[in-house]
Structure 1
Protein backbone atom coordinates (compact mmCIF):
# COMPACT_ATOMS: atom_id res chain seq x y z
CA UNK A 1 0.00 0.00 0.00
CA UNK A 2 1.13 3.56 -0.75
CA UNK A 3 -0.10 6.80 0.77
CA UNK A 4 -0.52 9.69 -1.66
CA UNK A 5 -1.64 13.19 -0.73
CA UNK A 6 -2.81 16.07 -2.85
CA UNK A 7 -1.38 19.54 -2.31
CA UNK A 8 -4.06 20.42 0.28
CA UNK A 9 -3.00 17.59 2.62
CA UNK A 10 0.73 16.97 2.16
CA UNK A 11 1.65 17.32 5.84
CA UNK A 12 -1.22 15.14 7.01
CA UNK A 13 -0.46 12.53 4.35
CA UNK A 14 3.18 12.28 5.42
CA UNK A 15 2.13 11.75 9.04
CA UNK A 16 -0.39 9.05 8.12
CA UNK A 17 2.21 7.22 6.00
CA UNK A 18 4.75 7.38 8.84
CA UNK A 19 2.28 5.91 11.36
CA UNK A 20 1.29 3.14 8.94
CA UNK A 21 4.92 2.44 8.00
CA UNK A 22 4.07 2.81 4.30
CA UNK A 23 5.77 4.72 1.50
CA UNK A 24 4.55 8.26 0.92
CA UNK A 25 4.26 9.55 -2.63
CA UNK A 26 3.96 13.26 -3.36
CA UNK A 27 2.45 13.83 -6.79
CA UNK A 28 3.63 16.50 -9.17
CA UNK A 29 1.02 19.27 -9.33
CA UNK A 30 1.33 22.49 -11.30
CA UNK A 31 -0.89 25.18 -12.72
CA UNK A 32 -0.98 26.23 -16.36
CA UNK A 33 -1.01 29.96 -17.23
CA UNK A 34 -4.77 29.76 -17.86
CA UNK A 35 -5.36 28.43 -14.33
CA UNK A 36 -5.96 24.78 -15.21
CA UNK A 37 -4.23 22.11 -13.12
CA UNK A 38 -1.81 19.42 -14.23
CA UNK A 39 -1.04 16.35 -12.11
CA UNK A 40 1.41 13.47 -12.53
CA UNK A 41 2.29 10.54 -10.30
CA UNK A 42 5.87 9.38 -10.84
CA UNK A 43 7.48 6.08 -9.95
CA UNK A 44 6.11 2.69 -9.07
CA UNK A 45 2.78 2.62 -7.26
CA UNK A 46 1.19 -0.33 -5.45
CA UNK A 47 -2.16 -1.76 -6.52
CA UNK A 48 -3.76 -0.41 -3.32
CA UNK A 49 -3.47 3.30 -2.50
CA UNK A 50 -4.67 5.68 0.18
CA UNK A 51 -5.36 9.07 -1.42
CA UNK A 52 -5.71 11.97 1.03
CA UNK A 53 -6.96 15.35 -0.16
CA UNK A 54 -9.05 18.05 1.49
CA UNK A 55 -11.50 19.48 -1.04
CA UNK A 56 -11.11 23.14 -0.10
CA UNK A 57 -10.72 25.58 -1.73
CA UNK A 58 -12.46 24.81 -5.05
CA UNK A 59 -9.35 23.99 -7.07
CA UNK A 60 -8.50 21.19 -4.63
CA UNK A 61 -11.67 19.38 -5.71
CA UNK A 62 -10.49 19.36 -9.33
CA UNK A 63 -7.05 18.21 -8.18
CA UNK A 64 -8.65 15.28 -6.34
CA UNK A 65 -10.55 14.16 -9.43
CA UNK A 66 -7.40 14.38 -11.57
CA UNK A 67 -5.37 12.40 -9.03
CA UNK A 68 -8.01 9.68 -8.87
CA UNK A 69 -8.03 9.46 -12.67
CA UNK A 70 -4.23 9.32 -12.82
CA UNK A 71 -4.16 6.47 -10.30
CA UNK A 72 -6.63 4.45 -12.37
CA UNK A 73 -4.61 5.10 -15.52
CA UNK A 74 -1.45 3.62 -13.98
CA UNK A 75 -3.31 0.50 -12.89
CA UNK A 76 -4.23 1.07 -9.25
CA UNK A 77 -6.93 -1.46 -8.34
CA UNK A 78 -8.11 -0.09 -4.99
CA UNK A 79 -8.31 3.61 -4.09
CA UNK A 80 -9.19 4.49 -0.50
CA UNK A 81 -10.16 8.15 -0.82
CA UNK A 82 -9.76 10.12 2.42
CA UNK A 83 -11.26 13.62 2.45
CA UNK A 84 -10.33 15.25 5.78
CA UNK A 85 -12.49 18.32 5.09
CA UNK A 86 -15.31 17.77 2.61
CA UNK A 87 -15.98 21.02 0.76
CA UNK A 88 -19.63 21.67 -0.19
CA UNK A 89 -20.90 19.22 2.44
CA UNK A 90 -23.00 21.89 4.16
CA UNK A 91 -25.50 22.05 1.27
CA UNK A 92 -26.98 18.61 1.89
CA UNK A 93 -30.62 19.47 1.19
CA UNK A 94 -32.73 21.89 -0.81
CA UNK A 95 -33.64 25.06 1.07
CA UNK A 96 -35.09 26.94 -1.91
CA UNK A 97 -36.53 25.61 -5.14
CA UNK A 98 -33.97 25.39 -7.93
CA UNK A 99 -30.90 24.80 -5.74
CA UNK A 100 -28.30 22.13 -6.32
CA UNK A 101 -27.65 19.63 -3.54
CA UNK A 102 -23.93 20.35 -3.65
CA UNK A 103 -22.86 17.58 -1.27
CA UNK A 104 -24.62 14.95 -3.39
CA UNK A 105 -23.06 16.31 -6.57
CA UNK A 106 -19.59 15.99 -5.00
CA UNK A 107 -20.33 12.43 -3.87
CA UNK A 108 -21.28 11.37 -7.39
CA UNK A 109 -17.95 12.57 -8.76
CA UNK A 110 -15.80 11.28 -5.89
CA UNK A 111 -17.10 7.71 -6.07
CA UNK A 112 -16.46 7.41 -9.82
CA UNK A 113 -12.83 6.56 -9.08
CA UNK A 114 -12.91 5.45 -5.45
CA UNK A 115 -13.45 2.06 -3.84
CA UNK A 116 -13.77 3.29 -0.27
CA UNK A 117 -14.50 6.73 1.22
CA UNK A 118 -13.35 8.06 4.58
CA UNK A 119 -14.56 11.43 5.87
CA UNK A 120 -13.86 13.38 9.05
CA UNK A 121 -16.50 15.22 11.13
CA UNK A 122 -18.88 15.70 8.23
CA UNK A 123 -21.44 18.48 8.60
CA UNK A 124 -24.13 15.81 8.30
CA UNK A 125 -23.94 12.03 8.09
CA UNK A 126 -26.64 12.27 5.39
CA UNK A 127 -23.73 12.72 2.97
CA UNK A 128 -22.80 9.05 3.44
CA UNK A 129 -26.20 7.82 2.24
CA UNK A 130 -25.46 9.00 -1.30
CA UNK A 131 -22.37 6.84 -1.71
CA UNK A 132 -22.70 3.49 -3.46
CA UNK A 133 -19.27 2.46 -2.16
CA UNK A 134 -18.25 1.60 1.40
CA UNK A 135 -17.74 4.56 3.72
CA UNK A 136 -16.42 5.40 7.15
CA UNK A 137 -17.10 8.54 9.21
CA UNK A 138 -14.31 9.54 11.62
CA UNK A 139 -14.28 12.05 14.48
CA UNK A 140 -11.53 14.22 15.93
CA UNK A 141 -12.83 13.76 19.49
CA UNK A 142 -9.70 12.20 21.03
CA UNK A 143 -7.01 14.57 19.69
CA UNK A 144 -9.21 17.58 20.49
CA UNK A 145 -9.72 16.30 24.04
CA UNK A 146 -5.95 15.86 24.44
CA UNK A 147 -5.33 19.47 23.41
CA UNK A 148 -7.96 20.80 25.83
CA UNK A 149 -6.45 18.73 28.64
CA UNK A 150 -3.16 20.61 28.21
CA UNK A 151 -5.07 23.85 28.85
CA UNK A 152 -6.60 22.66 32.12
CA UNK A 153 -10.15 22.83 30.76
CA UNK A 154 -12.73 21.61 33.29
CA UNK A 155 -15.92 22.35 31.32
CA UNK A 156 -16.70 21.71 27.64
CA UNK A 157 -19.33 23.79 25.85
CA UNK A 158 -20.98 23.56 22.46
CA UNK A 159 -21.95 26.98 21.06
CA UNK A 160 -25.39 25.56 20.15
CA UNK A 161 -27.65 22.58 20.74
CA UNK A 162 -26.72 21.06 17.37
CA UNK A 163 -23.18 20.38 18.57
CA UNK A 164 -24.19 18.97 21.95
CA UNK A 165 -23.15 15.40 21.12
CA UNK A 166 -19.70 16.56 19.99
CA UNK A 167 -19.20 18.44 23.26
CA UNK A 168 -20.37 15.39 25.21
CA UNK A 169 -17.95 13.03 23.46
CA UNK A 170 -15.01 15.37 24.01
CA UNK A 171 -15.95 15.92 27.66
CA UNK A 172 -16.28 12.18 28.26
CA UNK A 173 -12.77 11.66 26.90
CA UNK A 174 -11.57 14.26 29.40
CA UNK A 175 -13.76 13.27 32.34
CA UNK A 176 -15.24 16.79 32.75
CA UNK A 177 -18.66 18.49 32.61
CA UNK A 178 -20.33 19.46 29.34
CA UNK A 179 -23.21 21.63 28.21
CA UNK A 180 -24.39 23.80 25.33
CA UNK A 181 -25.29 27.47 25.08
CA UNK A 182 -28.97 28.30 24.94
CA UNK A 183 -30.53 31.58 23.85
CA UNK A 184 -33.36 32.87 26.04
CA UNK A 185 -35.40 35.93 25.04
CA UNK A 186 -36.22 38.05 28.09
CA UNK A 187 -38.08 40.75 26.16
CA UNK A 188 -38.47 42.15 22.68
CA UNK A 189 -35.00 43.68 22.87
CA UNK A 190 -33.15 41.63 25.49
CA UNK A 191 -31.64 38.18 24.90
CA UNK A 192 -29.39 36.19 27.21
CA UNK A 193 -27.12 33.34 26.07
CA UNK A 194 -25.82 30.99 28.73
CA UNK A 195 -25.13 27.30 29.39
CA UNK A 196 -28.45 25.47 29.63
CA UNK A 197 -27.69 23.47 32.76
CA UNK A 198 -24.28 24.41 34.19
CA UNK A 199 -22.66 27.47 35.76
CA UNK A 200 -19.53 28.78 34.02
CA UNK A 201 -18.37 30.92 36.94
CA UNK A 202 -14.78 30.19 37.87
CA UNK A 203 -14.46 27.55 35.15
CA UNK A 204 -11.82 27.07 32.48
CA UNK A 205 -14.05 26.51 29.48
CA UNK A 206 -13.37 24.82 26.16
CA UNK A 207 -15.71 25.78 23.31
CA UNK A 208 -15.83 22.91 20.80
CA UNK A 209 -17.23 23.24 17.27
CA UNK A 210 -16.96 21.36 13.99
CA UNK A 211 -16.05 24.39 11.83
CA UNK A 212 -14.71 27.83 12.65
CA UNK A 213 -15.30 30.05 9.65
CA UNK A 214 -15.41 33.77 10.50
CA UNK A 215 -15.25 33.08 14.24
CA UNK A 216 -18.37 35.12 14.96
CA UNK A 217 -20.08 32.30 16.84
CA UNK A 218 -17.00 31.73 19.01
CA UNK A 219 -16.66 35.45 19.78
CA UNK A 220 -20.29 35.75 20.89
CA UNK A 221 -20.01 32.60 23.01
CA UNK A 222 -16.80 33.85 24.64
CA UNK A 223 -18.38 37.21 25.49
CA UNK A 224 -21.32 35.51 27.20
CA UNK A 225 -19.14 33.07 29.11
CA UNK A 226 -16.91 35.89 30.40
CA UNK A 227 -19.98 37.81 31.55
CA UNK A 228 -20.96 34.72 33.52
CA UNK A 229 -17.59 34.55 35.23
CA UNK A 230 -15.60 32.02 33.19
CA UNK A 231 -11.96 32.17 34.27
CA UNK A 232 -10.31 31.22 30.98
CA UNK A 233 -11.77 30.32 27.57
CA UNK A 234 -10.31 28.17 24.82
CA UNK A 235 -11.80 27.40 21.42
CA UNK A 236 -11.14 24.38 19.25
CA UNK A 237 -12.59 22.96 16.05
CA UNK A 238 -12.00 20.14 13.63
CA UNK A 239 -12.05 22.28 10.49
CA UNK A 240 -10.44 25.71 10.71
CA UNK A 241 -11.33 27.94 7.76
CA UNK A 242 -10.51 31.23 9.55
CA UNK A 243 -11.79 33.61 6.90
CA UNK A 244 -12.93 37.24 7.01
CA UNK A 245 -12.60 38.74 10.50
CA UNK A 246 -11.76 35.41 12.11
CA UNK A 247 -8.43 36.43 13.60
CA UNK A 248 -9.99 39.51 15.18
CA UNK A 249 -12.84 37.43 16.61
CA UNK A 250 -10.48 34.81 18.01
CA UNK A 251 -8.90 37.46 20.25
CA UNK A 252 -11.92 36.94 22.47
CA UNK A 253 -10.47 33.63 23.71
CA UNK A 254 -7.24 32.85 25.55
CA UNK A 255 -6.09 30.44 22.87
CA UNK A 256 -7.55 28.46 19.99
CA UNK A 257 -6.67 25.58 17.72
CA UNK A 258 -7.86 23.57 14.76
CA UNK A 259 -6.85 20.16 13.45
CA UNK A 260 -4.89 19.60 10.26
CA UNK A 261 -7.90 18.58 8.17
CA UNK A 262 -7.30 22.04 6.69
CA UNK A 263 -3.58 22.72 6.92
CA UNK A 264 -2.48 26.14 8.10
CA UNK A 265 -0.84 28.12 10.84
CA UNK A 266 -3.58 27.29 13.34
CA UNK A 267 -3.50 23.52 12.73
CA UNK A 268 -2.09 22.69 16.16
CA UNK A 269 -3.77 19.27 16.42
CA UNK A 270 -3.25 16.32 14.08
CA UNK A 271 -5.86 13.74 13.10
CA UNK A 272 -3.23 11.53 11.45
CA UNK A 273 -3.51 8.89 14.16
CA UNK A 274 -7.29 8.68 13.82
CA UNK A 275 -7.04 8.26 10.04
CA UNK A 276 -4.21 5.73 10.26
CA UNK A 277 -6.11 3.57 12.76
CA UNK A 278 -9.20 3.56 10.55
CA UNK A 279 -7.12 2.42 7.55
CA UNK A 280 -5.54 -0.37 9.62
CA UNK A 281 -9.02 -1.65 10.46
CA UNK A 282 -10.18 -1.95 6.85
Structure 2
Protein backbone atom coordinates (compact mmCIF):
# COMPACT_ATOMS: atom_id res chain seq x y z
CA UNK A 1 0.00 0.00 0.00
CA UNK A 2 1.02 3.58 -0.65
CA UNK A 3 0.78 5.60 2.58
CA UNK A 4 0.87 9.40 2.12
CA UNK A 5 2.12 11.99 4.54
CA UNK A 6 -0.13 15.04 4.83
CA UNK A 7 2.17 17.15 2.64
CA UNK A 8 2.43 14.53 -0.13
CA UNK A 9 -1.16 13.49 -0.78
CA UNK A 10 -1.25 14.44 -4.47
CA UNK A 11 2.10 12.81 -5.20
CA UNK A 12 1.17 9.65 -3.29
CA UNK A 13 -2.08 9.38 -5.26
CA UNK A 14 -0.17 9.83 -8.52
CA UNK A 15 2.34 7.17 -7.45
CA UNK A 16 -0.46 4.77 -6.55
CA UNK A 17 -1.94 5.25 -10.01
CA UNK A 18 1.48 4.88 -11.65
CA UNK A 19 2.29 1.63 -9.83
CA UNK A 20 -1.19 0.13 -9.52
CA UNK A 21 -0.81 -0.14 -5.75
CA UNK A 22 -3.69 0.65 -3.38
CA UNK A 23 -3.70 4.00 -1.60
CA UNK A 24 -4.17 4.11 2.16
CA UNK A 25 -6.09 6.93 3.85
CA UNK A 26 -4.18 8.01 6.96
CA UNK A 27 -5.60 10.35 9.55
CA UNK A 28 -3.70 13.40 10.76
CA UNK A 29 -4.75 14.82 14.11
CA UNK A 30 -3.42 17.31 16.61
CA UNK A 31 -3.97 17.31 20.34
CA UNK A 32 -4.69 20.50 22.34
CA UNK A 33 -1.10 20.55 23.62
CA UNK A 34 0.19 20.75 20.03
CA UNK A 35 1.32 17.15 19.64
CA UNK A 36 0.45 15.52 16.34
CA UNK A 37 -0.79 12.01 15.60
CA UNK A 38 -0.60 10.33 12.18
CA UNK A 39 -2.32 6.94 11.94
CA UNK A 40 -3.29 4.38 9.27
CA UNK A 41 -6.58 2.82 10.43
CA UNK A 42 -7.36 1.33 7.02
CA UNK A 43 -3.95 -0.26 6.40
CA UNK A 44 -4.08 -3.86 5.29
CA UNK A 45 -1.03 -5.58 3.90
CA UNK A 46 2.47 -6.82 4.54
CA UNK A 47 4.21 -4.16 2.41
CA UNK A 48 4.03 -0.40 2.92
CA UNK A 49 5.49 2.50 0.95
CA UNK A 50 5.36 5.66 3.02
CA UNK A 51 5.53 8.78 0.84
CA UNK A 52 6.23 11.86 2.95
CA UNK A 53 8.01 15.05 2.02
CA UNK A 54 9.77 16.63 5.00
CA UNK A 55 9.43 20.35 4.47
CA UNK A 56 8.90 21.17 8.16
CA UNK A 57 9.73 19.80 11.60
CA UNK A 58 6.10 18.64 11.92
CA UNK A 59 6.33 16.53 8.78
CA UNK A 60 9.49 14.85 10.04
CA UNK A 61 7.63 13.77 13.19
CA UNK A 62 4.66 12.69 11.07
CA UNK A 63 6.91 10.53 8.89
CA UNK A 64 8.32 8.72 11.93
CA UNK A 65 4.80 8.13 13.22
CA UNK A 66 3.61 6.73 9.88
CA UNK A 67 6.56 4.35 9.74
CA UNK A 68 5.75 3.09 13.21
CA UNK A 69 2.02 2.95 12.47
CA UNK A 70 2.37 0.66 9.46
CA UNK A 71 4.61 -1.66 11.48
CA UNK A 72 1.97 -1.76 14.21
CA UNK A 73 -0.63 -2.53 11.54
CA UNK A 74 1.34 -5.57 10.42
CA UNK A 75 3.68 -4.40 7.67
CA UNK A 76 6.80 -6.55 7.51
CA UNK A 77 8.40 -4.62 4.64
CA UNK A 78 8.56 -0.82 4.71
CA UNK A 79 9.92 1.51 2.05
CA UNK A 80 10.19 5.19 2.87
CA UNK A 81 10.01 7.67 0.00
CA UNK A 82 11.16 11.17 0.92
CA UNK A 83 10.41 13.35 -2.12
CA UNK A 84 12.04 16.38 -0.52
CA UNK A 85 14.48 15.80 2.31
CA UNK A 86 14.52 18.73 4.66
CA UNK A 87 17.79 19.42 6.49
CA UNK A 88 19.73 17.97 3.53
CA UNK A 89 21.67 21.23 3.26
CA UNK A 90 22.85 20.81 6.86
CA UNK A 91 25.14 17.99 5.79
CA UNK A 92 28.09 19.00 7.93
CA UNK A 93 28.80 20.63 11.26
CA UNK A 94 29.29 24.37 10.87
CA UNK A 95 30.94 24.95 14.24
CA UNK A 96 31.96 23.44 17.56
CA UNK A 97 29.06 21.71 19.25
CA UNK A 98 26.74 21.96 16.23
CA UNK A 99 24.99 18.87 14.85
CA UNK A 100 25.14 17.31 11.43
CA UNK A 101 21.38 17.65 11.16
CA UNK A 102 20.99 15.66 7.93
CA UNK A 103 22.72 12.71 9.59
CA UNK A 104 20.52 12.95 12.70
CA UNK A 105 17.36 12.90 10.59
CA UNK A 106 18.59 10.05 8.38
CA UNK A 107 19.45 7.90 11.38
CA UNK A 108 16.01 8.47 12.91
CA UNK A 109 14.26 7.45 9.68
CA UNK A 110 16.49 4.38 9.31
CA UNK A 111 15.27 2.83 12.55
CA UNK A 112 11.83 1.93 11.17
CA UNK A 113 12.28 1.28 7.46
CA UNK A 114 13.94 -1.29 5.24
CA UNK A 115 14.99 1.11 2.50
CA UNK A 116 14.77 4.77 1.50
CA UNK A 117 14.12 6.50 -1.82
CA UNK A 118 15.16 10.16 -2.23
CA UNK A 119 14.48 12.55 -5.10
CA UNK A 120 17.38 14.77 -6.20
CA UNK A 121 18.81 15.43 -2.73
CA UNK A 122 20.65 18.75 -2.47
CA UNK A 123 23.84 16.88 -1.60
CA UNK A 124 24.05 13.28 -2.78
CA UNK A 125 26.42 12.53 0.09
CA UNK A 126 23.47 12.55 2.49
CA UNK A 127 22.69 9.02 1.27
CA UNK A 128 25.65 7.85 3.33
CA UNK A 129 23.95 8.96 6.55
CA UNK A 130 21.23 6.33 6.32
CA UNK A 131 21.70 2.93 7.92
CA UNK A 132 19.57 1.21 5.24
CA UNK A 133 19.92 1.02 1.44
CA UNK A 134 19.13 4.26 -0.38
CA UNK A 135 18.00 4.75 -3.98
CA UNK A 136 18.14 8.20 -5.57
CA UNK A 137 15.53 9.08 -8.20
CA UNK A 138 16.60 11.74 -10.70
CA UNK A 139 13.40 13.55 -11.66
CA UNK A 140 14.90 16.69 -13.19
CA UNK A 141 13.93 15.70 -16.72
CA UNK A 142 10.23 16.26 -15.98
CA UNK A 143 10.89 20.00 -15.71
CA UNK A 144 11.19 20.16 -19.49
CA UNK A 145 7.59 19.01 -20.03
CA UNK A 146 5.74 22.25 -19.11
CA UNK A 147 8.18 24.56 -20.90
CA UNK A 148 6.84 26.22 -24.07
CA UNK A 149 7.58 24.28 -27.24
CA UNK A 150 8.64 27.48 -29.00
CA UNK A 151 11.54 28.61 -26.79
CA UNK A 152 13.74 30.95 -28.80
CA UNK A 153 17.32 29.63 -29.03
CA UNK A 154 16.97 28.41 -25.42
CA UNK A 155 19.73 28.54 -22.86
CA UNK A 156 19.56 26.34 -19.77
CA UNK A 157 21.49 27.95 -16.94
CA UNK A 158 22.63 26.47 -13.63
CA UNK A 159 23.27 28.80 -10.66
CA UNK A 160 26.86 27.53 -10.39
CA UNK A 161 29.21 24.96 -11.90
CA UNK A 162 28.22 22.37 -9.30
CA UNK A 163 24.62 22.33 -10.55
CA UNK A 164 25.40 22.05 -14.26
CA UNK A 165 24.27 18.39 -14.31
CA UNK A 166 20.68 19.28 -13.55
CA UNK A 167 20.65 21.98 -16.24
CA UNK A 168 22.03 19.47 -18.74
CA UNK A 169 19.34 16.96 -17.78
CA UNK A 170 16.55 19.46 -18.45
CA UNK A 171 18.27 20.57 -21.68
CA UNK A 172 18.54 16.99 -22.91
CA UNK A 173 14.89 16.32 -22.09
CA UNK A 174 13.82 19.47 -23.94
CA UNK A 175 15.96 18.56 -26.93
CA UNK A 176 17.27 21.96 -28.04
CA UNK A 177 19.47 24.85 -26.96
CA UNK A 178 22.65 25.20 -24.90
CA UNK A 179 23.70 24.89 -21.28
CA UNK A 180 25.84 27.14 -19.14
CA UNK A 181 26.27 28.18 -15.51
CA UNK A 182 26.68 31.38 -13.55
CA UNK A 183 30.02 32.56 -12.21
CA UNK A 184 30.66 35.08 -9.46
CA UNK A 185 33.24 37.79 -10.01
CA UNK A 186 34.43 39.99 -7.15
CA UNK A 187 35.63 43.52 -7.94
CA UNK A 188 39.09 43.90 -6.35
CA UNK A 189 38.56 47.60 -5.70
CA UNK A 190 34.98 47.72 -4.39
CA UNK A 191 34.50 44.16 -3.20
CA UNK A 192 31.18 44.01 -5.04
CA UNK A 193 30.17 40.60 -6.42
CA UNK A 194 28.83 40.36 -9.96
CA UNK A 195 27.00 37.27 -11.18
CA UNK A 196 27.04 36.43 -14.87
CA UNK A 197 26.83 33.44 -17.23
CA UNK A 198 30.29 31.97 -17.62
CA UNK A 199 30.34 31.73 -21.38
CA UNK A 200 27.11 32.11 -23.36
CA UNK A 201 25.43 35.33 -24.45
CA UNK A 202 21.76 35.73 -23.49
CA UNK A 203 20.55 38.62 -25.65
CA UNK A 204 17.19 37.88 -27.35
CA UNK A 205 17.26 34.28 -26.09
CA UNK A 206 14.76 32.46 -23.87
CA UNK A 207 16.58 31.41 -20.71
CA UNK A 208 15.63 28.67 -18.26
CA UNK A 209 17.37 28.99 -14.90
CA UNK A 210 17.47 25.50 -13.39
CA UNK A 211 18.22 24.43 -9.83
CA UNK A 212 17.37 21.52 -7.56
CA UNK A 213 15.65 23.76 -5.00
CA UNK A 214 14.43 27.33 -4.74
CA UNK A 215 14.12 28.23 -1.06
CA UNK A 216 14.10 31.99 -0.43
CA UNK A 217 14.57 32.86 -4.11
CA UNK A 218 17.38 35.32 -3.38
CA UNK A 219 20.10 33.58 -5.40
CA UNK A 220 17.86 32.87 -8.37
CA UNK A 221 16.29 36.35 -8.44
CA UNK A 222 19.79 37.86 -8.47
CA UNK A 223 20.66 35.70 -11.46
CA UNK A 224 17.40 36.57 -13.22
CA UNK A 225 18.07 40.26 -12.72
CA UNK A 226 21.37 39.89 -14.57
CA UNK A 227 19.60 38.13 -17.44
CA UNK A 228 16.94 40.82 -17.83
CA UNK A 229 19.62 43.52 -17.71
CA UNK A 230 21.35 41.72 -20.58
CA UNK A 231 18.21 41.67 -22.72
CA UNK A 232 17.20 38.03 -22.38
CA UNK A 233 13.87 37.46 -24.09
CA UNK A 234 11.87 35.39 -21.60
CA UNK A 235 13.17 33.93 -18.35
CA UNK A 236 11.78 30.80 -16.74
CA UNK A 237 12.67 29.48 -13.28
CA UNK A 238 12.62 25.69 -13.01
CA UNK A 239 13.33 23.60 -9.92
CA UNK A 240 12.67 20.10 -8.68
CA UNK A 241 11.85 21.26 -5.14
CA UNK A 242 9.79 24.50 -5.07
CA UNK A 243 10.16 25.39 -1.40
CA UNK A 244 9.46 29.08 -2.20
CA UNK A 245 9.58 30.28 1.39
CA UNK A 246 8.30 33.68 2.51
CA UNK A 247 8.27 36.15 -0.42
CA UNK A 248 10.29 34.02 -2.86
CA UNK A 249 7.61 34.10 -5.57
CA UNK A 250 7.38 37.90 -5.39
CA UNK A 251 11.17 38.18 -5.61
CA UNK A 252 11.31 36.03 -8.71
CA UNK A 253 8.43 37.74 -10.49
CA UNK A 254 9.83 41.14 -9.55
CA UNK A 255 13.20 40.16 -11.01
CA UNK A 256 11.55 39.35 -14.33
CA UNK A 257 10.64 35.65 -14.26
CA UNK A 258 7.86 34.85 -16.74
CA UNK A 259 6.94 31.54 -15.14
CA UNK A 260 8.01 29.34 -12.24
CA UNK A 261 7.98 25.60 -12.90
CA UNK A 262 8.31 23.03 -10.12
CA UNK A 263 7.51 19.40 -9.38
CA UNK A 264 5.25 17.89 -6.73
CA UNK A 265 8.04 16.87 -4.35
CA UNK A 266 6.80 19.95 -2.48
CA UNK A 267 3.20 20.69 -3.38
CA UNK A 268 2.91 24.34 -4.38
CA UNK A 269 0.90 26.30 -6.92
CA UNK A 270 3.73 25.95 -9.44
CA UNK A 271 3.97 22.15 -9.01
CA UNK A 272 2.81 21.45 -12.54
CA UNK A 273 4.69 18.18 -13.15
CA UNK A 274 4.87 14.98 -11.13
CA UNK A 275 7.88 12.93 -10.13
CA UNK A 276 5.65 9.85 -9.77
CA UNK A 277 7.00 8.12 -12.92
CA UNK A 278 10.61 8.58 -11.74
CA UNK A 279 9.66 7.26 -8.30
CA UNK A 280 7.89 4.26 -9.82
CA UNK A 281 11.07 3.37 -11.69
CA UNK A 282 13.15 3.85 -8.54
CA UNK A 283 10.86 1.60 -6.53
CA UNK A 284 11.43 -1.20 -9.02
CA UNK A 285 15.14 -1.14 -8.29
CA UNK A 286 14.92 -0.29 -4.59
TM-score when normalising by structure 1: 0.95
Q: What's the Cα RMSD here?
A: 1.5
Partner of 1:143: 142
Partner of 2:41: 42
Which of 254, 257, 266 aligns to 2:270? It is: 266
TM-score when normalising by structure 2: 0.94
Partner of 2:162: 162
Q: Secondary structure of the equivalent of 1:148?
A: coil
For residues 81-127 of structure 1, give each alpha carbon's deviation from its aligned partner in whole angstroms, at most 9, with x where no partner exists.
00001111111111211110000000111010110100011111111
Q: Kindly indicate whether residue 74 of structure 2 is the aligned counterpart of residue 70 of structure 1.
A: no
Partner of 1:126: 125
Which of 238, 250, 261 aligns to 2:240? It is: 238
**For 2:130 and 2:63, how far apart are their aligned partners in 1?**
17
Q: Kindly indicate whether residue 56 of structure 2 is the aligned counterpart of residue 84 of structure 1.
A: no
Partner of 1:183: 184
Matches for 1:192-271 after TM superposition, within 5 Å: 192-251=194-253, 252-271=256-275
Partner of 1:281: 285
For residues 148-167 of structure 1, give each alpha carbon's deviation from its aligned partner in whole angstroms, at most 9, with x where no partner exists.
35462611001222211211
Matches for 1:112-123 after TM superposition, within 5 Å: 112-123=111-122
**For 1:104 and 1:265, how far apart are their aligned partners in 2?**
31
The count of residues paired between Structure 1 and Structure 2 equals 281
Q: Secondary structure of the equivalent of 2:70?
A: helix
Q: Is the 8 A contact 1:193 1:224 kept in 2?
A: yes
- Unaligned stretches of 5+ in structure 2? none
Residues 69 and 207 from structure 1, CA distance in 2 versus in 1: closer, same or farther, beyond 3 angstroms? same
Q: Is the 8 A contact 1:205 1:233 kept in 2?
A: yes
Q: Is the 8 A contact 1:10 1:26 kept in 2?
A: no
